[in-house]
Amino acid sequence: MSCPRDLHYRMPAEWEPHAAAWLSWPHKRESWPGNFEPIPGVWRDLVSVLAAHEDVHILCGGDAVRDNAELLVGGLPSVTLHDVPTDDAWIRDHGPTFLVGPPGAPPALVDWQYNAWGSKYPPFDLDNQVPRRIAEVTSYRRFTVDAVFEGGAVDTNGKGTLLAARTCLLNPNRNPNLQEAEFENLLRDFLGIDHVIWLEAGLAGDDTDGHVDQLARFVAPNVVVAALAEDPQDENYTELQDNFQRLLEARDQDGLALEVVPLPTPPPLYYAEQRLPASYCNFYVANGVVVVPQFGVPQDETAIRLLSPLFPGRECVGLPARELVWGLGAFHCITQQQPSQPSKDV
């Protein structure tokens, strides 16, 4: 069977045109222990912003979950609810990787294996079925891979270069039998990637073993924003400096140096004495808007000011995320973009 690369499919950059955004409606109270009540309202506010710019599809299997989603966002235009059950709400990680192909090619997605960040939070069997269920809903061609992968673990410029963290995808709790070169071959064959820039480690309080959507993101084919802690006493300071230096020394698929833009992290935030992995890199790029997490600190305004000129033609909108990040993720973690497919030449 041919792999996606052989058929000229690729993983696009997030800023390329979207057909839709996908979300899984929150219902697992243990993901926000002791403070779940505000969380559905966070989804409501996010969906309200996104639905003005792109179609929104929401997985909400079961009567109670669907009723809650219907109550809060069911009346919004461009929103479709699907009776697909999930274990949790982090669709960036349990959802498919959507691909774009050559004009006229059938739309396709990649169905990776998912084990809830190294089997940290069972059960996850429903979440592992989400790519298949979305393929059924959309009638997309489905390519399956027998390797564990999470969407938040990577970021691409759409031209063949990918950011990833060794501490996550090469972790024995995900893929104990795969070496770096073997995983790069999978990224090449299934996502059309030519070059991988490997980062190390992640933020304090992060349970993902180093998702790059907390550390660094492409904002243009040759431009990356990278999280940096301003206080040398911050426990994130040294590792973020190390990743920043790696990016300065990195090259893209054409051997060109990257422009690396520092993006300050908020000061240390805690909930119930737990350090939260708060990062402005966890933004979501939609068709006409960039949704940026806000944590109720002065750096919120700085993040919007720095990101806005990097996304010409899009409005950078800040939404409150302090309650959301108690679940150890933000807006990029709870969204998955479905790219538009190129039209067949006439």
Tokens 């997985």 sit at which residue?
A: 59
Supply 30's token pair: 């243990």
The bridge status of strand 18-24 relative to strand 336-339 is: antiparallel
Supply 233's token pair: 């006493």
Active site residue 333: yes
Query: Which residue, among 110, 76, 117, has the nearest Cα to 93 in the 3D structure?
Result: 117
Q: Which residues contact 255 (CB under 8 A, 6 or more apart)?
A: none
Under 8 Å between Cβ of 39 and 26: yes
How far is 183 from 317, CA to CA, in rounded Å? Answer: 36
How far is 120 from 4, CA to CA, in rounded Å? Answer: 31
Residue 175 DSSP label: -
**Residue count of the chain:** 346
Supply 165's token pair: 């963290």
The bridge status of strand 154-156 relative to strand 161-165 is: antiparallel
CB count, 10 Å around CB of 133? 20
Exactly one of 60, 281, 316, 333 is catalytic; name it.
333
Active-site positions read: 333
